Chains A and B, each alone.
Chain A
């Protein structure tokens, strides 16, 4: 079935169940507070949360990939998510970025933007960037061109025909090349980069979009120890200005992320298991949690 049909179907289903049809926002609240959010795509983080998932369920042919998943990410937070294979980590990212429509539940970006009513490209434009598990870059374009395409600019086709890089944008790309250590490779075809370099390029492409929330699916897979360390440094430097959700298996990397930076040792780690949250707390807390130990060690 095509995604469109699925989308349509889920809308009809929601209607039948008497759920509010996604897209119809209540408009009464703003007036009483005297603050009007005119642009419906304007991110409203007055309540301190940038991402809010509630009771999300997704099933594929009877298999429950996500089972009433709830998650709340605060503005500027760095949240690490761990979990065994098949826990639903990637499916969760698919739901947030619009790739998969959940069977039930709701997902909000800020407190006003309903993510389930939007398409992938719209979600990317309002400020959610996603790095795939397998590094996904434009293999036949150069590193420079990869970054240029990701640059925040008018995304419409006609605008792209007449697009010209401004000096300021060129500087931004230059700075990004520096940051991701690919300055010497700028004119190289992206397909020729090493696995770790591709990961860096993809992270760079995300940052070029200047997203408010970054979803990073196993960002250090295939990286050398040195590259991993540099990645941790980079993410720590983004914390605060951006919100980050990092899915990772590498516990050493998670340890580095959670024990350093602004909120050192108070950062939350979420453990997913069979599509829902098993435990949430500081790294030390979850590591001491009996249920987590059971799931991971099979006792």
Chain B
């Protein structure tokens, strides 16, 4: 008998071509244009642009993580700013220890600890001198927090807006905690004035380029992983949970395990983005945990188009690109523009930029037919 078969590859031919183009851009084009093409040339990629794009790529990873949990599973988290910041703080602690005796107080301890009159590093800084240990913590701490929080929230079947509100509350509580000097994370100033990473000066162009390439490859890698994941049966169960969680349960699935897995993965992705962000931007402070930063991640995903994976990445680039241009050209109007953008997208592009483009193509195809 004839049976329907479903072709399921991670990407189509066009997709792989686009992916290769992205890989070449990040791996070859950007380094060559930035480091080898002389500064006067029209093709030169400025250090400013490298820093900006590198930063936006970190944001894009967050948007991608948000798409997995919100776009595919239907769980809106406003706490992803926290996981991003925790990853950032994890990296920041290591970078603070790398300053060594080059700080203002010429002490072995980070400046803010000298300022607080501490004699030795507190217990949670135990591993901060080891890069590898600290990178493990970057994944472990946010991952564990997400797992524990998610376990209790999902087990109690907290859903929808209630879940969003408690993620926001959790982030707010963490922000207050990190604002305190006694917590040992530099209070409201956070960490800054980094000098070195792996004993290499952090500000020199080649270091910045390595971080840039690393971020780009992480973004591409995460994108491929997410693409693969949503095309597995696991990914389809996530979408089923989004569409009709009751039906999923009465089909015999326990949604807890599925939600918990994707929630934790999403949090870890954000944490890694945070760890890549801090050495490129050079500062981390509790404002990364503010309510606004969590909401912004959701805006990038919504503007680009939920449940498309590529959409949130485009959204992160579009919104942040617009932000950096607007805050230079019309600094006072950026927030008005952001609000307007969100209203327009909600009204006219409910499926975001990607959804709008798809609709346009479908219409053209219909006209041709």
Contacts and interface: CB of A to CB of B under 8 A. Distances in A.
B1 interface: yes
A122 B251 CA distance: 9
B244 A149 contact: no
Contacts of A186: 4
A157 interface: yes
A46 interface: no
A175 B248 CA distance: 22
Given A144-B6, A160-B232, A161-B233, A137 B252 contact: no
B362 to A, nearest CB: 14
B257 interface: yes
A197 interface: no
Interface string A80-116: 0000000000000000010100000000000000000
A161 B240 CA distance: 15
In this complex, the member of A139, A140, A145, A174 whose beta carbon has the largest number of chain B beta carbons within 10 angstroms is A140
Interface in B1-57: 1-6
B234 A140 contact: no
Given A138-B240, A157-B261, A163 B252 contact: no
B254 A155 contact: yes
A270 interface: no
B247 A138 contact: yes
A141 B243 contact: yes
Interface in A125-150: 125, 129-130, 132, 136-141, 144-145, 148-150
Interface string B210-241: 00000000000000000001001110110110
Contacts of A148: 233, 236
A171 B247 contact: no
B254 A121 contact: yes
A149 B233 contact: yes
A62 B258 CA distance: 36
Given A4-B155, A140-B239, A174 B253 contact: no
A138 B257 contact: no
Contacts of A2: 156-158
Contacts of A175: 1
Given A149-B236, A161-B233, A186-B4, A119 B247 contact: no
Contacts of B1: 171, 174-175
A187 interface: yes
Contacts of B255: 121
A177 interface: yes
B252 A136 contact: no
Given A2-B157, A157-B234, A163-B233, A141 B239 contact: yes
B237 A160 contact: yes
Contact of A161 (B229, B243, B249): B229
A160 B233 contact: yes
B246 A132 contact: yes
Contact of B4 (A3, A97, A130, A174): A174
B250 A129 contact: yes
A5 B1 CA distance: 51
A97 B250 contact: yes
Contacts of A254: none
A188 to B, nearest CB: 11
B160 to A, nearest CB: 14
A220 interface: no
Contacts of B5: 170
A139 B157 CA distance: 22
A137 B244 contact: yes
B246 A125 contact: no
Nearest to B229: A161
In this complex, the member of B157, B234, B252, B307 whose beta carbon has the largest number of chain A beta carbons within 10 angstroms is B252
Contacts of A141: 236, 239-240, 243
Interface in B189-224: none
Contacts of B251: 121, 124, 149-150, 205, 209
Given A145-B6, A149-B248, A170-B4, 17 more contacts: A2-B157, A3-B157, A120-B246, A120-B249, A121-B250, A121-B254, A137-B244, A138-B240, A140-B307, A141-B236, A141-B240, A149-B251, A160-B232, A160-B237, A161-B234, A162-B232, A163-B233
Interface of B: 1-6, 155-158, 229, 232-234, 236-237, 239-240, 242-244, 246-255, 257-258, 261, 307
21 contacts: A3-B157, A4-B155, A5-B156, A120-B250, A121-B250, A121-B253, A121-B254, A138-B236, A138-B240, A145-B236, A156-B257, A160-B237, A160-B258, A162-B232, A163-B233, A170-B5, A174-B1, A174-B2, A174-B3, A175-B1, A187-B6
